[in-house]
Structure 1
Amino acid sequence: VRDSITATDNTYNPSQWYCWLRGCVFPTPVKMDNFMIGKKSPSGIAASRAVLVDADPYLTPAEFRLNQNFPNPFNPTTIIAYELPGESRVSLKIYNLLGQVVQALSDGIETAGYKTREWDASRFASGIYFYRLEAASTTEPGKTFIQVRRLLLVR
């Protein structure tokens, strides 16, 4: 597993770089400076100075996705990452084994992009929990996504 990237740029300007890391535990932008390395385009890897991250089409997911939380098992916090291809009404909730909602991490309209939420389970008992993402496009009626994944809290 690579944990570092080396790049040379004669116009390097500290604290203004971003690097998009795919193939990591979950896809998330890593702030390095003001530079974006995006998904592969027909002409190769998209790399450009980033003024508005959301304006780069190579950084908008092509489809809905709910990734496995990391770390898993965890104690007491974990990160849940998901992807939205367009503006969506999002509900991300944590459930216990009885199917009861124990915490809502997101509930509302969100813009397109790669999203992460942290769940701090320090006040919950050890055990198996589930997280459920429900996302409905606000621009394409009828386009919805629902997925559930399991996570394990250990003490």
Structure 2
Amino acid sequence: MQITVNGTTHEVDVEEDMPLLWVLRDELGITGVKYGCGIAQCGACTVHIDGEAARACQVLAADVWGPVTTIEGLGTPKALHAVQAAWIEHQVAQCGYCQSGQIMQAAALLAETPAPTDDDINDALSGNLCRCGTYPRIRAAVKTAATRLQEG
């Protein structure tokens, strides 16, 4: 089956019921997407499918409905996405394990809601768990990224 990830089309020989998470990690070697819980409760595996945030642990390979973007495809070291840059500026990450999922969820939020309120941010990111408890920094980083994206 074919799957487009971060702008590159790949031919993968996998079972149709293999979760996208394992296609990305085990078949394509894309490790920014993390395994956290396997039941879509933690958000560590969040990717974008056709621009929509999705939990890669729960999307089957056969059910992928469009191009996939992972944290590796969101920005580059020389051209960070506004959310990635804000994450660094606000020193959000501690252990860092949940951060790729948090960033992908935040980027999806800002694509739909350019000027989110605290409630918008809390609602959108409520399914992304951070054991380090950096939620105030996450909210501040999302607000900074929103401002920068609006400024162009």
Return the TM-score normalized by structure 1: 0.29
More helix, by proportion: 2
Q: Which has the larger radius of gyration?
A: 1
> Normalising to structure 2: TM-score of the pair?
0.29
Instruction: Between the two structures, name the one with larger relative contact order (CA 8 Å, sep ≥ 6).
Output: 2
Q: Which structure has more strand as a fraction of its residues?
A: 1
